[in-house]
């Protein structure tokens, strides 16, 4: 029996991963207690995703377990042991603002929860690849120190800048303001690496840019592209928080990301790190995203500019994908930003 354990299984990346591995013939165990509802309210609940997953995938079971509970996780790992073929860890407290207001909760979920899963992998299935969904926020605000200049609709780098094609994995994580969320995810990122480099587990950190897709339960504090589309469709005012709304994000569809997971699963490495986002192929500023939605829907979006940015927020961030493409040349990126937004519009429930 090939078994995949997916944490955060009803979230955006987790649910995409559940479907993908199930379609590859795996039995899938999901671990998700719908804490998005606790963090962000009823509109961010993933109950609808869970129902769809259970209906779609006959060999899928979801356990409402908090990843901070070592004992409850231990029961799952002990039961399936070496039948576990891969662990994909997507569960997290994902918000800057929430992390600042509740630092103990933030750290216990992102850091301690990750440590629990690594220890159990080491104990019960040490040969199984451990795939961790990290974040570009491990770099803190260091990207903001680049020679960024202002254009009409975005901030940008010169084509002659060494980082123009994107930020690579060698970019410094030191001497920066990270946000509390960034710090807890940085610990998780580093400890995942350490279990690979020091102990020999087959671990990888995917430092995500803006990951999105139709299963995203976007909220005002997290999931900007999904939330932006939903806000626009019901003609709510969209708040541009800092940097005139010209901050740039690279956007990667969750299906493209999960295909990265698959490539790693087939040919795993130990203690590896990849920056993973839309890259130069798929990126936009918030203003540009709003314009794309307006062009497609013919809806005029109301806007409010808030001058104060979020702590640790990036003015410009594009991922350099060269390292991953070199290691896994068969991977192909299928979605650009416009295609992603079109899909979000088509799948939107027209309510927040």
Ordered by where they begin, the domains of the chain are 3-347 (3.40.50.720)
Alpha helices by DSSP H, the chain = 12-23, 35-40, 47-56, 70-80, 96-101, 103-107, 113-124, 180-197, 224-233, 254-266, 286-297, 322-327, 337-347
| Sheet order of strands, 210-212 included | 210-212, 248-253, 283-285
H or E segment and range at residue 31: strand 27-31
Distance between CA atoms of residues 318 and 275, nearest Å: 9
Distance between CA atoms of residues 223 and 226, nearest Å: 6
H or E segment and range at residue 149: strand 149-150
- Give 238's contacts (C-beta < 8 A, 6+ positions apart): 228, 231, 232, 290, 301, 302, 303, 304
pTM of the model: 0.92
Distance between CA atoms of residues 43 and 36, nearest Å: 9
Distance between CA atoms of residues 221 and 89, nearest Å: 21
Among the ranges given (32-36, 65-69, 242-246, 348-352), the one the predictor scored with the smallest mean pLDDT: 348-352
Higher pLDDT, 24 or 37: 24
Cβ atoms of residues 305 and 240 within 8 Å: yes
In the predicted structure, residue 217 carries a pLDDT above the cut 90: no
Percent of the chain with pLDDT strictly greater than 70:
94
Distance between CA atoms of residues 336 and 252, nearest Å: 8
Distance between CA atoms of residues 28 and 117, nearest Å: 16
Average pLDDT over residues 236-260: 92
Average pLDDT over residues 274-294: 95
Question: Residue 164, SS3?
Answer: coil
pLDDT given for residue 350 in this prediction: 46
Among the ranges given (95-109, 158-172, 232-246, 327-341), the one the predictor scored with the smallest mean pLDDT: 232-246
Highest mean pLDDT among 70-84, 238-252, 294-308 belongs to 70-84
**Residue 118, both tokens:** 């690594």
Distance between CA atoms of residues 251 and 208, nearest Å: 9
Write out pLDDT tens, residues 112-137.
999 999 999 999 999 999 999 999 99
pLDDT given for residue 6 in this prediction: 98
Indicate the pLDDT class of residue 352, thresholds 50, 70 and 90.
very low
Write out pLDDT tens, residues 285-335.
999 999 999 999 888 888 888 999 877 689 999 999 999 999 999 999 999
φ/ψ (deg, to 5) at 207: -85, 95
pLDDT given for residue 218 in this prediction: 55
DSSP code for 329 = T
Average pLDDT over residues 277-292: 95
Distance between CA atoms of residues 290 and 306, nearest Å: 16
In the predicted structure, residue 219 carries a pLDDT above the cut 80: no
Indicate the pLDDT class of residue 252, thresholds 50, 70 and 90.
very high
Cβ atoms of residues 90 and 133 within 8 Å: yes
Question: Residue 5, SS3?
Answer: strand
Write out pLDDT tens, residues 222-236.
556 777 887 777 766
Nearest to 106 by CA among 158, 52, 179: 179
Average pLDDT of the chain?
92
């Amino acid at each position: 029996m090939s078994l995949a354990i997916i944490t955060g299984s009803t979230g955006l990346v987790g649910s995409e991963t559940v479907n993908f591995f199930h379609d590859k013939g795996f039995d899938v165990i999901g671990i998700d207690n719908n804490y998005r509802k606790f963090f962000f309210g009823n509109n961010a609940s993933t109950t609808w995703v869970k129902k769809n997953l259970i209906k779609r995938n006959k060999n899928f079971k979801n356990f409402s377990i908090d990843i901070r509970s070592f004992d409850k996780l231990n029961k799952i790992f002990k039961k399936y042991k070496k039948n576990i073929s891969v662990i994909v860890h997507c569960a997290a407290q994902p918000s800057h603002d929430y992390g600042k207001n509740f630092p103990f909760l933030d750290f216990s979920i992102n850091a301690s929860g990750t440590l629990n899963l690594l220890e159990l992998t080491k104990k019960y299935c040490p040969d199984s690849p451990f795939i961790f969904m990290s974040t570009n926020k491990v770099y803190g605000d260091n990207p903001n120190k680049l020679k960024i200049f202002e254009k009409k609709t975005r901030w940008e780098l010169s084509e002659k800048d060494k980082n123009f094609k994107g930020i690579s994995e060698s970019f410094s994580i030191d001497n920066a303001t990270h946000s509390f969320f960034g710090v807890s995810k940085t610990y998780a990122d580093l400890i995942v690496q350490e279990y690979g480099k020091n102990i020999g587990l087959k671990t990888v950190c995917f430092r995500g840019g803006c990951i999105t897709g139709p299963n995203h339960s976007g909220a005002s504090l997290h999931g900007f592209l999904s939330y932006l589309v939903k806000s626009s469709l019901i003609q709510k005012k969209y708040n541009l928080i800092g940097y005139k709304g010209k901050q740039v994000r690279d956007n990667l569809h969750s299906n493209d990301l999960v295909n990265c997971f698959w490539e790693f699963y087939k040919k795993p490495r130990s203690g590896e790190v990849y920056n993973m986002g839309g890259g130069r192929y798929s990126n936009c500023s918030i203003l540009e995203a709003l314009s794309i939605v307006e062009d497609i829907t013919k809806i005029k979006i109301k806007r409010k500019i808030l001058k104060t940015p979020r702590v640790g927020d990036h003015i410009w961030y594009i991922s350099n994908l060269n390292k991953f493409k070199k290691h896994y040349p068969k991977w192909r990126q299928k979605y650009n930003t416009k295609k992603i937004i079109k899909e979000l519009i088509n799948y939107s429930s027209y309510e927040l």
